């Protein structure tokens, strides 16, 4: 039975993600993608107008997945520091489970592709940083972190840590797990760790 339109689009996106997860970095063309799922190139173009549009479909999936979980976390978790920790853990766990999509998150898979794709990833990073900043501000109002904490700078630091973990994961051929040292590093990274409830340094 032929695949339905929505099912075929999902199959194409899944195939692209799997090809991107190849640690040997094979060159991906519409021809190779079509061959991977045993369809013709013209069949691909019935669902996506271009290869760039296929990448945009994956970026849409990444955005929807990450922000669905982040919004759920913020709605359910009443501690600002735990919101921060949850977001960091989510971003590293997502990379661990989706190596091909991590190549998109760091722009590695977008080299020589349309510039608008990298701009979308930049905007995604900015949105993630804003989510961290909002959670940090909440933690400040709770007085679970020092009230003098520069939340803008700290959110940027945390985002730099995340992108660094993503880069290391991809550049190692997916051998370096982003979560490898999380148990120890969380004690250094989380801004509430060095402070007690009154904002005093231990």
Residue 21 lies in a domain: no
pLDDT at 101: 97
Q: What is the pLDDT of residue 136?
A: 95
146: pLDDT confidence band, cut at 50, 70 and 90? confident
State the pLDDT confidence band at 193, using cuts at 50, 70 and 90.
low
- List, as one string, the DSSP characters of 62-129: HHHHHHHHHHHHHHH---HHHHHHHHHHHHHHHHHH-HHHHHHHTTGGGTTS-HHHHHHHHHHHHHHH
In a domain, 92, yes or no: yes
State the CATH number of the domain containing residue 110: 1.10.357.10
Residue 135 region, left (φ>0) first, then alpha (ψ -120 to 50), else beta?
alpha
pLDDT band at residue 199, thresholds of 50, 70 and 90?
Answer: very low
Check residue 145 and give its pLDDT: 84
Find the mean pLDDT for residues 184-189.
90
Whether the per-residue pLDDT at 125 is higher than 60: the answer is yes
- Tell me if 76 is assigned to some domain: yes
In a domain, 149, yes or no: yes
Domain of residue 106 covers 52-189
pLDDT value at 148 more than 90? no
Domain count, the chain: 1
54 vs 5, more confident:
54
7 pLDDT band, cuts 50/70/90, is: confident
> What pLDDT is stored for residue 63 in this prediction?
97
């Amino acid at each position: 039975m032929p695949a339905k339109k929505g099912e075929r689009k999902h199959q194409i996106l899944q195939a692209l993600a799997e090809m991107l997860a190849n640690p040997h970095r094979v060159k991906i063309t519409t021809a190779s993608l079509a061959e991977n799922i045993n369809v013709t190139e013209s069949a691909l173009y019935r669902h996506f107008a271009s290869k760039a549009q296929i990448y945009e479909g994956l970026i849409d999936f990444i955005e929807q997945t990450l922000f669905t979980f982040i919004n759920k976390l913020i709605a359910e978790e009443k501690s600002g520091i735990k919101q921060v920790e949850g977001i960091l853990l989510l971003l590293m766990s997502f990379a661990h489970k989706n190596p091909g999509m991590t190549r998109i998150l760091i722009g590695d898979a977008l080299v020589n592709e349309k510039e608008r794709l990298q701009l979308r990833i930049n905007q995604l990073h900015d949105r993630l940083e804003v989510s961290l900043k909002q959670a940090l501000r909440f933690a400040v109002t709770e007085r679970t972190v020092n009230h003098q904490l520069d939340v803008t700078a700290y959110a940027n630091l945390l985002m730099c840590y995340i992108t660094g973990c993503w880069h290391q994961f991809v550049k190692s051929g997916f051998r370096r797990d982003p979560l490898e040292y999380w148990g120890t590093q969380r004690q250094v990274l989380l801004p509430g760790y060095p402070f007690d409830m009154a904002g005093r340094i231990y």
